[in-house]
Structure 1
Amino acid sequence: MIKLTTDRLILRDYCEEDFEAYYKLKTDEETMYYMQDIKLGSREEGKKDFADVLADMKSEHRKFFFLHMELKETHEQVGSIGYTVVDETPIGKIVHLGYFTYKKFWGNGYTSEALGKLLEFAFTKDNVYRVTTGCLKENVGSEKVMIKNGLIKEAEHIDYEWHDGKMKTRLEYRLLKREWKKWSNRFASKGHY
């Protein structure tokens, strides 16, 4: 069972009692605006999706490491953050990162704080070698979270994705374990870590 804490947050594995919170988050229009591919369409779909999450957590070859994100003081749900293992290589896992939070928490640094802790876990405890992620260029807040945590821009795909009735540009970011170590050491030496 994964449980990580930051100054203001608890990041933890989901448990059976979290279904309603999970379903509410993944059906919220504003929260899932940029995550249409994983937005839930019905309660039945939600129950199956959640059952799959719980079953995967018990698997020897766990694939999904998405964590419930909540405020430490009140336990109010902020969102979800995590990664999916896309490959396991002799030098470590390659994972695809994602995060989504309720709009009322945007702009408060919660996602950046959570991502910092998640990356530390991934690179020091879970044998992750490479993290990839991305966002639509218009999603400036999401890109800021990536940059703030040392991720490096690899590509800008013009008119790459059909979203909300038009073609949009997508940005791709990455972070390798050695890059994270270098970045986190530099960050710590400035007294910010």
Structure 2
Amino acid sequence: MGHPVEVPGLNHLAAIVAPLCRQFSPVWAAIFPYPVDSSCRLLITQAKFFMQNLHIHGYDVGVDSWERMGATSVQADKVVNVRMSESEHTLLKAYCASLNRSMQDVLRDFALMQIQKQRFCCRLVRSLMDEHGIEQDPRARKPCFGYACYYCRHAESCAAGETDLLYIPRQEIRELVAEESAYIFDFDGSSIEPPTQMG
């Protein structure tokens, strides 16, 4: 049996990865299918895969040792840490799971949606967006722009600015909609107003 390959910085990497592996032990077997005493090169590959999985599931993990170990340096996006209560975190995690999206994607979407909507009436936001090269989202002028975009039948074409239709819910979410809001399945894309109450 060959000896493990010596790789500079491995101890530093292991010191980061090991506690994370213990913290996320329920997914250890799926993420690390090989024995931990395999070669250093394999361990590094597994560690990268582990970090990518954390990122996909909404956990931001910064590791500054990849370049020192000879890996290609990739410019990372900015990371914002959001403090919330345990119950708020649990709610957010469950909500994002229902959408099959990561927590960071949903938080980013919602934050930018609100800024984009404020651009409609705020000169300051318009100036800030222009200054930082953020283009106006074609959906921003629509009254349905927001969480409904996750459930809309034409979400992709709307995001691309290819349709003027308003929110039309996908039929597969029907069982999730409260009885008093069932009227949304009558939407034809021309309005999102509730039906006129008679009497």
Shared fold per TM-score greater than 0.5: no
After TM superposition, the score normalised by the length of structure 1 is 0.28
Higher Rg of the two aligned structures: 2
More helix as a share of residues = 2
Q: Could you tell me the TM-score, scaled by structure 2's length?
A: 0.27
Q: Which has the higher strand share?
A: 1
